[in-house]
Chain A
Amino acid sequence: MKKIQFKNSTIDLTKLLPPVAVMTLFTVFSLRNPQFLSLYNIGNILDFANTYFIAGIGLTFVILLGSIDLSIGAMISLDTILFIIMINAIGFWAYPIIIVIGIVLGLFNGVVLVRLKIPSFIVTLGSSGIFMSLALIFSGAGPIGLVPKQLHTLSFLTDRIGPFTVNHLLGMILFIVFQLVQNKTFFGKTVYAAGNSEVTTKLSGLPILRTKVISFAISGLCTALASIIIVSIMLSAAPSTGPPYMLLIIATVVVGGTALSGGIGGVYNTLLGSFLISILGNGMNVIGIDIYYQQIIHGAIIIAAVSLTLDRSKIKIVK
């Protein structure tokens, strides 16, 4: 791609584009309606961005490998339902249990992928059917609300300090942790290597299968954490909770500049993507765009954003 030539350094233009896109959207919306910058609305945007980001972290590693996880929507449905059932029954113990359940669901995807040797697209398409069934069975196909006496187990997550809540703190911690995992650990390096060339990585003797299983387990873990946040905001769960998130979360990861072909992008890109998607969704409401036009604009901007943010100099074949 184009490079700006400075005295001693080259800055890759494509690396600058995602933050520029976020800033542009932010400025445009705040100029059109000052209410966009109000404390309450900023908190609102952060809430949405946080959910997309946390669910997107796990998917980032899966996509960096060149795989995909289509079961996130169904996993969110199942996780939220199990979480609210457990909170109603046993209170605080629901937190560790739902995290374990999330990891187990992710491991299921990973192990089936590695053992049966079938593409992740198909594994997760199939497993999303299984998870959705479980969600329907556990919930009886209806919404489940929180029992009032258990409200204290969830309400501390949404206590506001300015525009920030405890949820956002969790998002920030996860960002730091997974940024370190991605850049400083053996696992992170293997993910990038396998995403760039799986054959070469295999010949180098790196543990590809283990890396894949761990990536899917992280995806399950992050989906469980996102489910906790969704429940803490909605205080209820239904089988229809998850599916609308599915494509939004994939869009979050890809719009930030992570390539679906693998090896390019990272957790930081997902953070930018989550801001882009949530600012877009919120801003169109705030400046009063007709709801009937919003979906058209949404689709067009996703295409435009990917065409700007994707670093195609490294991708040879676009499929």
Chain B
Amino acid sequence: MVKMKQNIYNFFLMKYSREKIALLISGKASFIALFSLIIIFSFLADKFFSLSNLTNILDLSAILLLTSTAMTFILMLGSIDLSVEGIAGLTGVVGALMVKNFSNSNDYGLLSIIICILLGAIFGLLNGIIFTKLKIPSFMTTLGLGAVASGVCILSTRGYPVIITDQTIRGLAHIKLLGGVIPLLFVIAITINLLIWFVSERTILGRHVIAIGGDEAIAKDLGIKINLVKIMVFAISGAIFGLAGMLLVAKLGAGDIRNPYGLLFDSIAAPLIGGIAITGGIGKIPHAAIGAITLTILRNGMVLLGINPYIQQSVVGTIIILTVAITIERKKIGVIK
């Protein structure tokens, strides 16, 4: 409370400047962006503020929420993971081959989800091990392994989609809780988001992640097992990517390399919109959820308003630049590269 008074006091004392805006909304910018978007679209598009559209938005944001949660965990280390599309594509196809489908006679049901999570975790583990042991930047490691994963995926079905007929898996995407308002996919996604939040706030692993993101050299001097932490974070994130791949199959009804197309851009953009610094160490996991929902609402609202689809991409691009320009905490980051 005292801090808030201090903030307000400082706000009126200073002249108009970028610092002033940043001070006023520090830590709250992503909420403000989300609510102002909701208000703007509610006024402009009459279909926007309805229960069916709420369900629609939650449903659309579920997968993005999952992947951006995992991406945030990695961004907080100061690393990046470009293998989202590869891992999600591969686990999707493998998962689709495990359940009832048109291509073979397997029927493992819900067990396939566990296999997908394990497969994702294995690729995440590989990412982490190659990244830390061979000391290759995560950007290149995950780029390479992402290509390997999508290569294995294309190889496994020769590029053809696997259409699934398993009703339990398909049902996952259709179940709506609370009288048909909240989709089950969204509940799964938000649960995992909160779980990772708990890990990042309340466990040793999570605190170490933030320490490494803040200053790796100091974290090393303090005796944190940096390599172990990094490998574990990549494995956890890989597992979540694997789950996302299978849930995409449940949603779309087929396992295909093209399922997660475009997911990489969005899963990096969502944490950034939520206020997570790409240099690491700053931000909280729920901000990823806010970013994912903001991005989905932005896309949904632009469709409802009938904005030219060619321009929509540049609106998203501009908004990424603007939100980061407002929310970034320059003092904490130091050198901006």
A: which residues have CB within 8 A of B?
A: 65-67, 112, 116-123, 125-130, 132-134, 136-137, 141, 198-199, 247, 250-251, 254, 259-262, 292-300, 302-303, 306-307, 310, 312, 315-319
Residue contact A122 to B139, C-beta cutoff 8 Å: no
Interface centre among A120, A137, A307 (most CB of B within 10 A): A307
* Complex contacts, A298 vs chain B, CB 8 Å: 147, 151
Cα–Cα distance between A126 and B324 once the two chains are bound (Å)? 10
Stretch binding the partner chain, chosen from B6-14, B51-59, B173-181, B310-318: B310-318
Residue contact B155 to A319, C-beta cutoff 8 Å: no
Interface centre among B139, B143, B325, B337 (most CB of A within 10 A): B337
**Which residue of B has the minimal Cβ distance to A136?**
B310
**Can you list 23 A-B contacts with CB-CB less than 8 angstroms, sorted by A residue number?**
A116-B321, A119-B278, A119-B279, A119-B324, A119-B336, A125-B265, A125-B317, A126-B324, A127-B321, A129-B315, A129-B317, A129-B320, A134-B314, A141-B310, A251-B143, A260-B139, A262-B337, A293-B155, A295-B148, A295-B151, A300-B148, A319-B138, A319-B280
Partner of A199, one of B79, B158, B325, B335: B335
* Complex contacts, B310 vs chain A, CB 8 Å: 133, 136-137, 141
**Which residue of B has the minimal Cβ distance to A135?**
B310
Leading 6 A-B pairs by shortest Cβ distance: A129-B317, A299-B147, A295-B151, A133-B314, A296-B151, A126-B321
**B159 adjacent to chain A (CB < 8 Å):** yes
Stretch binding the partner chain, chosen from B29-37, B94-102, B129-137, B186-194: B129-137
**B146 adjacent to chain A (CB < 8 Å):** yes
For the A-B complex, the count of residue pairs with Cβ-Cβ distances under 8 Å equals 159
Cα–Cα distance between A315 and B143 once the two chains are bound (Å)? 20
Residue contact A129 to B136, C-beta cutoff 8 Å: no
Cα–Cα distance between A318 and B139 once the two chains are bound (Å)? 10
Residue contact B140 to A254, C-beta cutoff 8 Å: yes
Residue contact B159 to A123, C-beta cutoff 8 Å: no
* Complex contacts, B145 vs chain A, CB 8 Å: 299, 303
Residue contact A299 to B269, C-beta cutoff 8 Å: no
B325 → chain A closest CB, angstroms: 4
Interface centre among A112, A129, A141, A293 (most CB of B within 10 A): A129
Residue contact B134 to A129, C-beta cutoff 8 Å: no
* Complex contacts, A66 vs chain B, CB 8 Å: 337
**B67 adjacent to chain A (CB < 8 Å):** no
Known interface pairs A118-B325, A126-B320; A302-B268 also in contact (CB < 8 Å): no
Residue contact B147 to A296, C-beta cutoff 8 Å: yes
Partner of A112, one of B146, B150, B151, B321: B321
**B141 adjacent to chain A (CB < 8 Å):** yes
Interface centre among A128, A250, A298, A306 (most CB of B within 10 A): A306
Cα–Cα distance between A296 and B139 once the two chains are bound (Å)? 17
A318 → chain B closest CB, angstroms: 5
A316 → chain B closest CB, angstroms: 7
**B78 adjacent to chain A (CB < 8 Å):** yes
Residue contact A292 to B136, C-beta cutoff 8 Å: no
Residue contact B146 to A312, C-beta cutoff 8 Å: no
Known interface pairs A116-B321, A319-B78, A319-B137; A296-B148 also in contact (CB < 8 Å): yes
* Complex contacts, B82 vs chain A, CB 8 Å: 247
* Complex contacts, B151 vs chain A, CB 8 Å: 292-299
**B152 adjacent to chain A (CB < 8 Å):** yes
Residue contact B140 to A306, C-beta cutoff 8 Å: yes
Known interface pairs A116-B325, A137-B311, A292-B158; A125-B320 also in contact (CB < 8 Å): yes
Cα–Cα distance between A312 and B318 once the two chains are bound (Å)? 36
* Complex contacts, A315 vs chain B, CB 8 Å: 135
* Complex contacts, B319 vs chain A, CB 8 Å: 126
**Other A-B pairs, 4, CB within 8 Å; known A65-B337, A122-B324, A296-B151:** A129-B315, A130-B313, A132-B313, A250-B139
* Complex contacts, B316 vs chain A, CB 8 Å: 129
Beta-carbon contacts under 8 Å, B107-126 to A: none
Cα–Cα distance between A307 and B135 once the two chains are bound (Å)? 7
Cα–Cα distance between A299 and B90 once the two chains are bound (Å)? 15
A175 → chain B closest CB, angstroms: 24
Residue contact A125 to B328, C-beta cutoff 8 Å: no
**B217 adjacent to chain A (CB < 8 Å):** yes
Known interface pairs A119-B336, A299-B145; A132-B314 also in contact (CB < 8 Å): yes
**B225 adjacent to chain A (CB < 8 Å):** no
B168 → chain A closest CB, angstroms: 31
* Complex contacts, B318 vs chain A, CB 8 Å: 126, 129-130
Partner of A133, one of B137, B144, B311: B311
Residue contact A133 to B317, C-beta cutoff 8 Å: yes
Cα–Cα distance between A13 and B162 once the two chains are bound (Å)? 48
Partner of B154, one of A128, A295, A319: A295
Cα–Cα distance between A102 and B317 once the two chains are bound (Å)? 19
**Which residue of A has the minimal Cβ distance to B319?**
A126
**B258 adjacent to chain A (CB < 8 Å):** no
* Complex contacts, A262 vs chain B, CB 8 Å: 337
Residue contact A302 to B140, C-beta cutoff 8 Å: yes
Residue contact B79 to A299, C-beta cutoff 8 Å: no
Known interface pairs A118-B325, A293-B151, A298-B151; A130-B314 also in contact (CB < 8 Å): yes
B293 → chain A closest CB, angstroms: 19
Partner of B314, one of A129, A292, A300: A129
Residue contact B136 to A307, C-beta cutoff 8 Å: yes
Partner of A316, one of B152, B217, B320: B217
Cα–Cα distance between A43 and B316 once the two chains are bound (Å)? 41
* Complex contacts, A310 vs chain B, CB 8 Å: 135-136
Proximity string of chain B (78-95) to chain A, C-beta cutoff 8 Å, 1 when within and 0 when not: 110010000000000000
